[in-house]
Structure 1
Amino acid sequence: MNLFATIMMIILGVLHIAIMCLEMFSKPETQANSFDMPLEFVKQPEAQTALKNQGIYNGVLGIVILLSLVMVNGAASIAVSELLAGFVLVVGIYGGLTATRKIFLIQALPGLIALLSLIL
Structure 2
Amino acid sequence: MLIAAKLIILIVAVLHFYFLWLEMFAWTTKAKKVFRSFPEDLFEPTKTLAANQGLYNGFLAAGLVWSLLIQDSVWQLYVALFFLGCVAVAGIFGALTASKKIFTIQALPALIGITLLLLDHFL
**TM-score, structure 1 as length reference:** 0.90
Residues 1:72 and 1:42: Cα distance change in structure 2 (over 3 Å): farther
RMSD: 1.4
Q: How many residues align?
A: 118
Q: Which runs of 5+ in 2 are unaligned?
A: none
| Residues in 1 aligned to 2:4 and 2:89: alpha-carbon distance in whole angstroms | 21
Residues 1:100 and 1:72: Cα distance change in structure 2 (over 3 Å): farther
**TM-score, structure 2 as length reference:** 0.88
| Residues in 2 aligned to 1:102 and 1:50: alpha-carbon distance in whole angstroms | 21
| Residues in 1 aligned to 2:27 and 2:88: alpha-carbon distance in whole angstroms | 27
Q: 1:100-111 alignment to 2 at 5 Å?
A: 100-111=99-110
Q: Which runs of 5+ in 1 are unaligned?
A: none
| Residues in 2 aligned to 1:29 and 1:100: alpha-carbon distance in whole angstroms | 21
8 Å CA contact retained: 2:9, 2:64: yes
Q: Which has the higher helix share?
A: 1
| Residues in 2 aligned to 1:42 and 1:60: alpha-carbon distance in whole angstroms | 23
Equivalent position amino acid for 1:9 in 2: I
Equivalent position amino acid for 2:19 in 1: I
Residues 1:89 and 1:9: Cα distance change in structure 2 (over 3 Å): same
Displacement of 1:32: 3.3
8 Å CA contact retained: 1:29, 1:39: no
Equivalent position amino acid for 1:37 in 2: F
Identity of aligned pairs, percent? 37
Equivalent position amino acid for 1:24 in 2: M
